[in-house]
Structure 1
């Protein structure tokens, strides 16, 4: 019978293994660790029977509890739709003026519209709706096509310069590039337009250029922007006399716009969003402009 060796310090048996003078103690696994391992294995086996676990070719073990995450999600979606239907049906059917007069309903519109706007519109117009380079600010209550919810809904539904059969169409010709105006006419009309929103530019040194630009504007630009340059919402022509600009209000940018033209684009949303979502966004965007101080 082999002699059992014990560690002189702890009194425990050794395994007989030795590394560089260090002997391994034959220490049993702690009872707490052993119990933990037993419980986890029992729980794992039990869980295999209770919930879906094992793939079986084209199917899987369903589990005694009948738990199905897809069914759970579908049930929650249906529940959420039922909860939303109380107000979405009103959004779809009631006139805009009735909805705008109902402050409780408008609070729901603002909360839901903020999420819809962030998911669909913020990439161009910014999370706050203030736009960015080459994209219009939706909070200033200055509109190309009109800021009423009915007009905003129509713009969202058909888009601008899209393939939709009812799309809004707007394009500023490239007067300089396409040689409809020569270089001096482009600079003159740009100077006139610049002076409309920058009165301090109308100095004695610039009056001749501004006057010449006025003549070009009347014969070339007034058909869209109006003789007073205050724009025309029927054709999406912006007001050139105020402080709101999409592409920039400095003289060089105006010259570039007259020379090379401008053509914006807004996608159609009638196949991407439901009618209730479009009307909710129309109300939300309308509200962005009217709520500004």
Structure 2
């Protein structure tokens, strides 16, 4: 019987296997490692017996202990719903002013309103409520129909120009193409633009003041600061809903665009409307 080959460089016995002149050293794994590996196998077998582990065609083995992470999650959700119920009941029973004055209820309402906003309002007003062309920014203090709690609640509950709600906000700017000639329209646009910017033609803007007073002041006010009860925007600030510039103003005066907002009470319920009211009011622009 021949002696096992010993590698000259390492002094380690080889296994006797050889490939293209390369021999395999006989370096077995440490016993502690082997026993650890055996223990992990035993642990996995025990785990598969005790817990759901082996996939079947439509389900999995239940496990001896009957543990279920889904059941734990459902239990947590049920507990959360129970704890939320008392807050929802309080919000349903209180006015928005009472909710806003209660720190605990206000915090809960803001959280609920933020969630409802992301699902229902963000498609138009943006995820950060900053709005966009034709959609108001809810973070500033420029309100078409008023920015106090009652006004915001009414707007959310009944919408704007929403035909199926009899209490919806309803006002429309007339098409002044049928009232003013092109020169008067340009004069009025120059005057409005000049309220917050330097008009290209100051003379045109000066002539437009009287046109504005005769035709626009009834809704927007003689100071052009708007009237919230009519939904007439403030034209004396630097916030523009549709677009900026004299050309945009001319288009709006000539053939105005009118936005529509749904009435949310029927879809979301009175409690969620209150939560949305508190959330929108908390954004920083509420009065």
Q: Tell me, what secondary structure is at the counterpart of 1:5?
A: coil
Matched residue, 2:206: 207
Within a 5 Å distance, the mapping from 1:47-126 to structure 2 comes to 47-117=47-117, 120-122=120-122, 124-126=124-126
Matched residue, 1:285: 280
How far did 1:94 drift?
0.8
Q: Tell me, what secondary structure is at the counterpart of 2:28?
A: coil
2:240 aligned to which of 231, 239, 245: 245
Distance 1:291 1:261 in 2: 27
How far did 1:290 drift?
5.9
How far did 1:93 drift?
1.0
Which runs of 5 or more residues in structure 2 are unaligned? none
User: Quick one: structure 1 residues 28 and 164, their matched pair in 2 at CA, closer, same or farther if it must change by over 3 Å?
Assistant: farther
Matched residue, 1:191: 190
1:254 aligned to which of 246, 249, 272: 249
Distance 1:31 1:163 in 2: 82
- Superposed CA deviations along residues 33-54 of structure 1, whole A, max 9, x for unmatched, are 3233322222222121222223
Q: Which range moves more in the overlay, 61-70 or 263-272? A: 263-272
- Superposed CA deviations along residues 177-199 of structure 1, whole A, max 9, x for unmatched, are xx66543333123234334x349
2:231 aligned to which of 226, 231, 236: 236
Q: TM-score, normalised by structure 2?
A: 0.77
How far did 1:76 drift?
0.9
How far did 1:25 drift?
1.2
Structure 1's consecutive aligned runs of 4 or more residues displaced over 6 angstroms after TM superposition are none
Matched residue, 2:145: 145
Q: TM-score, normalised by structure 1?
A: 0.76
Within a 5 Å distance, the mapping from 1:150-229 to structure 2 comes to 150-162=150-162, 164-166=164-166, 167-169=168-170, 171-172=172-173, 175-176=176-177, 181-195=180-194, 197-198=195-196, 203-204=202-203, 206-217=205-216, 222=218, 224-225=219-220, 229=224
Give the aligned CA root-mean-square deviation in angstroms: 3.6
For the 8 Å contact 1:231–1:237, the answer to whether it is kept is yes
